[in-house]
Amino acid sequence: MDIKKIFIINGGQKFGHSGGRFNKTLLDTTVEFFSSRPEFEVRSTDVNEDYDPGQEVENYVWADVIIYHTPIWWFQVPHALKKYIDVVFTAGHQKGIYNSDGRNSINPAIHYGTGGTLHGRKYMVTSSWNAPATAFTLPGEFFSERSVDDGILFGFHRMNAFTGMKPLEGIHFHDVEKNPDIVNDLKRYKAHLEEIFINQSLEHNERILNSNY
């Protein structure tokens, strides 16, 4: 698939002690990365700003790849991003995001989750955490050696699969509050974008959907 159209969503909400600065920086970095290359077209949305649900549905339908930037708050995406998804996906019912849950009355026990209409599109997610990477990998630590994608983001991946989209390799940023290393995080992120979208085919980087998510 010839990838040209990139839709970027900033879910880094301004709330409480969070100013959403890291994810806004990721948004700006992503926009700059693609806008500097003439083969790409870019659209973006910030959940802190007003948006029209119908236009957001059109953005999903227009895009070849959707890129989500989100922090993780209390082991979930922020409530503004969750609201955005609820509102936009509801507006997208039978208008390009999904038609149904995929089942029919003849045998309602099967084919759940096959009613999406965003087939042929891909998505990528970045997440940012106060938790260190070792919380996911060391025996006896908090996440019991379960990865971000197979744990906290499992439902997020299933949500996108419901629409028919397939995942690209994402990237996760850890310890961004207590022990930040923003310079190296951004360097690593730019290298990730370069590898996924420039150096290799997207088909090579596409996650296989017979995985856990």
Q: Which residues pair with 98 in a beta bridge?
A: 93, 116
Tokens of 162: 């419901």
Local confidence band at 123 (pLDDT 50, 70, 90 cut-offs): very high
210 band by pLDDT with thresholds 50, 70 and 90: very low
Q: In Å, what is the CA distance from 73 to each residue of 79, 118, 125, 152, 153?
A: 9, 28, 15, 11, 12
Which pTM value belongs to this model? 0.92
pLDDT tens-digit series, residues 39-97: 999 999 999 999 999 999 999 999 999 999 999 999 999 999 999 999 999 999 999 99
Per-residue confidence (pLDDT) for residue 156, from 0 to 100 = 98
Q: In terms of pLDDT, which residue wins out, 40 or 209? A: 40
> Which pairs count as long-range contacts for 176-181, CB under 8 Å and 24+ apart, including other chains?
176/22, 176/128, 176/129, 176/130, 177/130, 178/130, 179/132, 180/22
Q: Which CATH superfamily is domain 5-205 in?
A: Flavodoxin domain (3.40.50.360)
Give the Cα separation of 125 and 123 in Å (integer): 7
Q: Please write the tens of the pLDDT for every residue from 93-113.
A: 999 999 999 999 999 999 999
In the block, tokens 């919380």 appear at: 135
